Amino acid sequence: MIEINPDTCIGCGRCTEICPKIFKLNTDTMKAEVIEGDDLECADKAANQCPTDAITVDQTK
Ligand code: SF4
């Protein structure tokens, strides 16, 4: 399961660059959104690069 905390996401777009299949930037809210949640390995990389730790990756779900 991949989740983005909209309260802490600053819309920097880093996660969308690392995993364009998983994340997209909502240009209205300037928050990242999850568009598909299968590639947990890539999501984990993005989570590690997120400047505000807004991405949660739960490997068990
Ligand atoms: S890397 Fe983090 S702060 Fe940047 S857009 Fe993605 S979730 Fe938001």
Strand partners, 2: 57
What pLDDT, on a 0 to 100 scale, did the predictor assign at position 8?
98
Size of the chain, expressed as the number of residues it contains: 61
Residue among 2, 3, 4, 42 whose CB has most ligand 1 atoms within 8 A, to mutate: 4
pLDDT in tens, 1-34: 999 999 999 999 999 999 999 999 999 999 999 9
In what helix (H) or strand (E) does residue 44 lie, and over which residues does it extend?
Answer: helix 40-49
Domain 2-57 has CATH 3.40.50.10860: no
Name the residue ranges covered by the structural domains of the chain.
2-57
What pLDDT, on a 0 to 100 scale, did the predictor assign at position 60?
82
**In this structure, are strands 31-34 and 23-26 parallel, antiparallel, or unpaired?**
antiparallel
Cα three-residue angle 21-5-9, rounded to 5 degrees: 75
Ligand 1 near 43 CB (within 6 A): no
Residue of minimum CA distance from atom 8 in ligand 1: 9
pLDDT above 70 (res 61): no
Nearest CA to 33 out of 8, 5, 7, 61 is that of 5
Q: What is the DSSP letter of 38?
A: -
